[in-house]
């Protein structure tokens, strides 16, 4: 009998039952024969601090953080990656042997790797990117596009002030455009990204008209439920390359898994099918 510790990882959020992360990480744990566990944990905001401090003592080596804790966790972490600091939110934690909490944000990494996997010819440098939405997901996308040398980012949001805040945080390559003048910018956009929740099941439809779009544009939607959004259907009808949102969910999990379990997991179609089933 050995006394080897079984590594534990959890996803913390509220509500948490809808999270796909346990399915995803458990698939990789099985695939690579790793003796570890990944579990969902319902945690209230008032308890986040205490839960995180206790976790390393209970055998946890890391955690994912989801709604509504992604911003709050920044105040609790001992060390924060540059990209998480720029985004203002973290989704991936590693616990040091002394219980210190290292916080990172892998959403932008997931965004870029998803496009690269499905449209390898695409580059952030292809031309201006047009982003719809200015929430946490949008901030992660902006950060990753700038890191990949995007020449210019046009950002638009129903609540303009949130877009203005992103522009002032991320600098001169980010420009705010009016929510009602998107049409004027579509012909010159190399990449169009929906980072709003519009088009998601239970939410209103995203109603922008893609007629002005060039067929050279790549269109991607962060919404993955449904997998085929109206935006993607419209874009394909115009002859554009499209990338759906489920791959971002999978790819954002790669850096965490590899850090916790020392295996770089591959993103295969069986995993994608599992998440969609």
Minimal distance, residue 47 CB to ligand ATR, in Å? 21
Measured CA distances, 195 to 71, 98, 103, 188, 267 (Å): 18, 37, 23, 19, 22
Our CB check for ligand ATR shows the closer of 32 and 179 to be 179
Taking the least distance from each CB to ligand ATR, the nearer of 8 and 91 is 91
Nearest in space to 111 (alpha carbons), one of 146, 137, 80: 137
Closest CA to 123 of 104, 145, 140, 138: 145
Sign of CA dihedral 189, 193, 196, 199: positive
Q: Which is nearer to ligand ATR, 156 or 242 (CB)?
A: 156
Helix (H, G, I), strand (E, B) or coil at 38: strand
Strand (E) or helix (H) holding 50: helix 48-54
Q: Within its chain, how far is the Cα of 190 from the centroid?
A: 21
What angle in degrees, to the nearest 10, is found between the helix axes of 21-31 and 269-276? 150
Q: Which positions lie near ligand ATR, rule CB under 6 A? A: 133-138, 157-159, 162, 195-198, 204
Residues assigned a catalytic role: 70
Strand partners, 212: none
Considering beta carbons, is residue 162 or 236 the nearer one to ligand ATR? 162
Position of minimal CB gap to ligand ATR: 135
Place of tokens 């929740």: 197
Taking the complex as a whole, the smallest distance from the CB of residue 73 to ligand ATR amounts, in Å, to 14
Nearer to ligand ATR, 29 or 155 (CB): 155
Q: How far is the CB of 134 from ligand ATR (least distance, A)?
A: 5
Report how far residue 240's alpha carbon sits from residue 116's, in angstroms, rounded to the nearest whole number. Answer: 16
CB of 10 to ligand ATR, least distance (A): 20
């Amino acid at each position: 009998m050995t006394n080897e510790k079984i590594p534990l990882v959890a996803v913390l959020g509220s509500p948490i039952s809808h999270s796909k992360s346990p399915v995803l990480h458990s698939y990789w744990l099985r695939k690579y024969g790793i003796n570890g566990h990944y579990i969902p944990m319902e945690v209230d905001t008032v308890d986040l601090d205490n839960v995180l401090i206790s976790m390393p003592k209970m055998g946890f080596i890391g955690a994912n953080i989801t709604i509504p804790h992604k911003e709050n966790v920044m105040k609790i972490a001992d060390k924060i990656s540059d990209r998480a600091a720029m985004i203002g939110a973290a989704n991936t934690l590693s616990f040091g042997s002394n219980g210190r909490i290292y916080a990172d944000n892998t959403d932008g990494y997931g965004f870029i790797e998803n496009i690269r996997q499905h449209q390898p010819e695409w580059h952030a440098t292809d031309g201006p990117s047009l982003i719809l939405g200015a929430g946490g997901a949008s901030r992660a996308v902006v950060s990753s596009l700038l890191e990949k040398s995007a020449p210019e980012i046009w950002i638009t949001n129903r609540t303009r002030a949130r877009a203005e805040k992103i522009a002032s945080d991320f600098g001169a390559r980010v420009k705010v455009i009016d929510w009602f003048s998107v049409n004027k910018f579509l012909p010159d956009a190399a990449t169009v990204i929906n980072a709003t929740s519009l088009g998601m099941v239970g939410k209103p439809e995203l109603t922008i008209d893609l007629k002005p779009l060039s067929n050279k544009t790549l269109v991607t939607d962060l919404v993955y439920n449904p997998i085929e959004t109206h935006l993607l259907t419209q874009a394909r009808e115009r002859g554009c390359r499209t990338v759906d949102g489920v791959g971002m969910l999978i790819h954002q999990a790669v850096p965490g898994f590899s850090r916790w379990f020392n295996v770089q997991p591959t993103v295969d179609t069986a995993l994608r099918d599992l998440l969609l089933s």
